[in-house]
A and B are shown apart, each in its own frame.
Chain A
């Protein structure tokens, strides 16, 4: 609506203000001073004449200009016209309404216009699904396994995705683990002498691992840790790697906890891989740095500073490998994984046996949960050996 005052033409947002101002006033008492829509009462001849006389010159320039009683209302704001500059009559045909395409759509289809944000949400979800379906992100959980394959792309170019067969094999059947029991060649976790178990706010036992991808002892220990942890929860995002080719037990095939995640109702597992197996400027490439709390744990319970370091609720610790990496020499990850299911194989006796000791330490720390894991004869026997 065009209104002329003192020779200046304003476009008054009658149409839009009429739609939204009552809503705003209804929802916001403090906005009660918003302009009230004009009453649309018929103008008197006196008013008509008065306005016509005071704006005679402007009226001559624009025959479509109408008068308004609220011309001098300081609250009335100029409205914006659409890109075309056109105005349209409102539904009652009484006032020209400034309208753009979007504004007109919002007026004529309020529900559809309101559902635009929902459409954006659905489109965003659909985009993520498509990206996931076509991209190389972490794979799905392997069938009948608590372990999932990981990203092939990590900061270490020498790290690869674990084949599904290896992932599936890490979920060693309880019967196999029971058959292996405890092995004489496996080093038991050491009690720290602390009676209080370190737990998270939601009651999970805190398990901290500090190691490195170049370390052959870590390479051996990770197999046992993965087997044990999979009994209490789900590991995902594991990658395949190997120890350094220039260290003892070179190129011991293993998996890496870097980039992995673990979910469990009983255990909060926090792994730290301090370095890759790649040498850069004379040092192994840095990967992760322990937190101050993790460094304090190492300083307290691992006075020699050796890795791997495994802390189970501050109640038990493993410093160094539970068995010799020599057992894994020359074996591929697939060959190691395949032997895990055979309780009579030396590899299974070492890895599954070490997994049993770690399992027993966790059971001794979390109150024996879950019973399906902790109440088995082999684990019960190991818990007693741990002195719990």
Chain B
């Protein structure tokens, strides 16, 4: 009976959004996931910042080869570099900032479920955006921007780490006797 009583208690805490469930989640998301995701998100912020500054200052000043298939200026000044009047560099920077906020250790431990959902959705949206932008670079512009590619790799890697962290967290909670 004591085990059943414990389960009922955990259930009430979970439904209320605080308590034992959050503590369990904290314990089950590995530290490497928290740190790797944070580093990747900060990398995205760094690249996004550089591209944003270059966009408004001098796009041709990007530290990037300007010959052959690699041509950052061609990509970052193309008509596809702006969405609804907002430069993609700014969108990427904003995405990086939000992902940073969602991947700090406190966010991984958050008891409110929407934090985990938004993290997962935004990381997935980033990966989907990568597919679109790679298509645009290869088939519409005909050039590759190295800085954009670095951002793409970061976004896909972050998507993977977030997925892994979410899976490990879920598996950890399921294996937790208090939540089994």
Q: How far is the CB of A1 from chain B (nearest CB, A)?
A: 15
Residues of chain B from 86 to 139 with CB closer than 8 A to chain A in the complex: 87, 113, 116-117, 124, 127, 130-131, 134-135, 138-139
CB distance from B114 to the nearest CB of A (A): 8
Are A141 and B142 CB-contacts (below 8 A) given A263-B77, A263-B81?
Answer: yes
B143 on interface, CB distance cutoff 8 Å: yes
A125-B134 in contact given A26-B21, A234-B77 (Cβ < 8 Å): yes
Contact residue range for chain B?
35 or more
| Contact indicator A236/B15 (Cβ below 8 Å) | no
B4 partner, pick from A18, A41, A113, beta carbons under 8 A: A41
CB A290 to nearest CB in B, in angstroms, measures 18
Cβ contacts under 8 Å, B79 to chain A: 261-263
Rounded to whole Å, the gap between the CB of A71 and the closest CB of chain B is: 16
Q: Do the beta carbons of B142 and A139 come within 8 Å of each other? A: yes
CB distance from B79 to the nearest CB of A (A): 6
Q: What residues on A are CB-neighbors of B134 within 8 Å?
A: 125, 128
Check B113 against A115 for contact (C-beta < 8 Å). no
A132–B174 contact, CB under 8 A? no
Contact B15 A29 (CB under 8 A): yes
Contact A138 B142 (CB under 8 A): yes
Give the complex CA separation of A20 and B169 in angstroms: 11
Which residues of B sit under 8 angstroms from A36, Cβ to Cβ?
7-8, 11
> Across the interface, do A236 and B142 meet the contact criterion of CB distance under 8 Å?
yes
Give bound CA distance, A114 to B141, whole Å: 33
B85 with A201: CB separation less than 8 A: yes
CB pair A234 B163 closer than 8 Å: no
What does the 1/0 interface line of A12-27 toward B look like (CB < 8 Å)?
A: 0000001110110111
Stretch among A56-64, A116-124, A183-191 lining the B interface: A116-124
- Verify if A39 is at the interface (C-beta below 8 Å from B): yes
Asked whether A117 and B74 contact (CB < 8 A) given A23-B174, A132-B139, the answer is no
Could you give 8 example pairs across A and B, Cβ below 8 Å? Answer: A22-B10, A23-B173, A29-B14, A115-B164, A118-B160, A140-B142, A141-B66, A233-B77
B-to-A contact residues, CB < 8 Å:
1, 3-4, 7-8, 10-11, 14-17, 21-22, 24-25, 58-60, 66-69, 71, 73-79, 81-82, 85, 87, 113, 116-117, 124, 127, 130-131, 134-135, 138-143, 152, 156, 159-160, 163-164, 166-171, 173-174, 176, 179-180
Known interface pairs A26-B14, A115-B160, A141-B142; 14 further A-B residue pairs with C-beta atoms within 8 A, sorted by A's residue number: A22-B14, A23-B169, A23-B174, A25-B14, A32-B14, A111-B167, A114-B163, A118-B156, A121-B131, A128-B134, A132-B138, A141-B143, A233-B77, A262-B79
